[in-house]
Amino acid sequence: MKSTAKAHANIALCKYWGKRDSRLNLPAVGSISMTLQALSTQTAVDFRDDLPADRLILNGKPASERACRRVSDFLDVLRREAGVKLHAQVDSRNEFPTGAGLASSASSFAALSAAAAHALGLNYPKPRLSQLARRGSGSAARSIFGGFVEMQAGQSPSGEDALAVQLYDEHYWPLEMVILITDPARKKIGSTEGMNLTAETSPYYRAWIDSSGKDLAEVRQALAQKDFEKLGELTEFSCLKMHALALAARPGLLYWNGTTVQLLHEVRRLRAAGLLIFFTVDAGPQVKVLCLPGEGQKVKARLTGMPGVHDILVSTIGPGVTLVDD
Ligand code: DP6
């Protein structure tokens, strides 16, 4: 009853922010992302009869009680589905600089879903794994697939239609992403808390929900046409729209630091000077820059040396979750 899986992180080009059901973790809006080759998590799950409780090891060290509880609650869902009561040892390793301040919940829960389901003998196809990963983290539902992926908000109260689908695989259009670390510390207000506060207090939340269908349709179209300028413009729009919404929460959610803002201006300055790049930012201060195929290293070189930048990673587009032989 042991299995290991590897999954990659993803960055949303059209953002998810807000839930229509917190218990089942159903998103209020759909989203579209790109899976990243350079950021991955490998997770081994071992269900055993000698454990009094679940045990979580993160990058070689026992995890916090909070992280343990989140994983245990998630495993409960699977234990119910499999009719099993055993506890598990979960050993999860991020294959990207730890403490880089990069969210790993997407790759972690995607890898955990595949490994745990397989260890329990549940032969789930990817759409079912995506639904399962969503219970752990909304963005994890997208990391089940490689390439360009759409998370569907769905309408059903049971969440059977709230799952991700692959729009195009990783060979369709090998765009790249440059990730600039402006603060290696963990973010102070996590996505779950941030989006719930936004839904409760931001006056722009209704408009965000009402306009999301149009944003998704436009991103789908830009991908279908491989229209990079259009895709980039929509990516910046979705990012700024999400942050505007979160800034208007009470108290306002200010995820950016000074370097974040300087980088956004720098991306636009370089673009005006002829380098076709676009930014996006998630619930933290790191800046992600969308680049044309083969341009990541060049963009990294142009952004190297900016004050306040701790590290720069370059990623190509990556694959979906896979089982790893032990
Ligand atoms: C800003 O998937 O981390 O990265 O479902 O509560 O775990 P939970 O939230 P999470 O939120 C991701 C928010 C985002 C945008 C995105 O990835 O779409």
The pLDDT value recorded for residue 102 is: 79
The pLDDT value recorded for residue 181 is: 94
The pLDDT value recorded for residue 100 is: 64
Give me ligand 1 centre to Cα 49, in Å. Answer: 34
Closest ligand 1 atom number to CA of residue 282: 1
pLDDT means per 10 residues, the chain with 326 residues, are 97 98 97 97 97 95 94 96 96 80 87 98 97 97 98 97 98 98 85 96 98 98 98 98 98 97 98 98 96 98 96 97 88
In the numeric block, which tokens belong to residue 110? 């995607």
The pLDDT value recorded for residue 326 is: 63
Ligand 1 pocket check for 315: Cβ under 6 Å:
no
Q: Tell me the C-alpha to C-alpha distance, in Å, between residue 254 and each of 8, 30, 101, 187.
A: 27, 23, 16, 11
Residue 178 sits at φ, ψ, to 5 deg, of -105, 130
The pLDDT value recorded for residue 90 is: 98
Q: Does residue 251 have a cis peptide bond before it, meaning omega lies within 30 degrees of 0?
A: yes
